[in-house]
Structure 1
Amino acid sequence: MANPSKAKGTAWESLWTAYIREHHNPAAHRNVQMGAKDIGDVSGYYLHAAELKAEKTITLSDYIAQANREAIHASQPFGCAVVKRRMKGVADGYVVRDVATDVRLLNRLRDMEVALQTALPTTYALIDAQHRGAA
């Protein structure tokens, strides 16, 4: 690849996609770029259009605006930027959303947890125990 910046971005997308396949969704895949109607760099990150960035200078406001536009194009409720952390592995990268998006996500999570706890309390307790680990 002639453009070193593009090569770094492609490498980051490939590494992150492999990580997501292993830890989240085996069907995750990199998307073909679609210009003005781009749907994010990777599909398969549940409920999100993921815009991946591996740049020396980080501009979160631009990344988030792009991710939110691409979420609309991808018919996903949430957009996020996945930013490579310099000199670190994939698991040390950052997933970034604006506050409004994060609040919508947490409200959805809360409402779904209440619904599951009400409808299937035993199942809720099992799932809660499985995901209870601290950061």
Structure 2
Amino acid sequence: MSNPSKQKGSAWESAIVAYLREHHNASAHRNVQMGSKDIGDVDGYYLHALEAKAEKEIKLPSYIAQANKEAGHAGQPFGCAVVKRRMKGTADGYVVRDLRTDVRLMNRLRDAEALLEEYAFEAWLEHDAHHREAA
């Protein structure tokens, strides 16, 4: 690969996949590009089409629009961009989505937790305690 920008982007995608495999989903992987019907750069981020960006100039509006479009192509309810933070590791990258998408995600999480609390209270208590731990 002779294009330095493409190399940087591929390296960032690979770093995201490695991070997701260790901390979220062991089957996360890079997607094959599909042209106008792209489904995001990385598969395996629960409920999301993930667009990876490692560019010197950050252009959030276009990243979010692209992620949302590709979520539709992928049949995922949410799109997000994972933007490389200069001079930082993968875990310090930015996960970015528009407020509309984030509110939909939080509503889904709130409703799922309310169901768990109502129908399996002990399991909800364990779940709540586990996820309240600081990062």
TM-score band by shorter chain is: over 0.9
Deviations 1:39-87 (A, max 9, x none): 0000000000000000000000000000000000000000000000000
CA distances 1:95-114 after superposition (whole Å, capped 9, x unpaired)? 00000000000000000000
Q: Which amino acid aligns with 2:132?
A: R
Q: Which runs of 4+ in 1 moved over 2 A?
A: none
What 5-or-longer segments of structure 1 have no aligned partner? none
3-state secondary structure, aligned to 1:58: coil
In structure 1, the partner of 2:78 is 78
- For 1:53, give the aligned amino acid: K
Cα distance in 1 for residues equivalent to 2:70 and 2:125: 35
Aligned pairs, number: 135
Give distance in 2, aligned partners of 1:11 and 1:53. Answer: 10
Question: Which residues of structure 2 form unaligned runs of 5+?
Answer: none
Question: 1:60 & 1:133 partners in 2: Cα distance?
Answer: 30
* Structure-2 residue corresponding to 1:46: 46
**TM-score, normalization by structure 2:** 0.99
The percent of aligned pairs where both chains have the same amino acid is 70
Residue 133 of structure 1 deviates from its aligned partner by 1.6
SS at structure 2 position matched to 1:131: helix
TM-score (norm 1): 0.99
CA distance in 1, matches of 2:95, 2:133: 19
Provide the rounded CA distance (Å) in 2 between the counterparts of 1:127 and 1:111.
14
1:85 partner letter = R
In the alignment, the residues of structure 2 paired with residue 62 and residue 109 of structure 1 have an alpha-carbon distance, to the nearest angstrom, of: 26
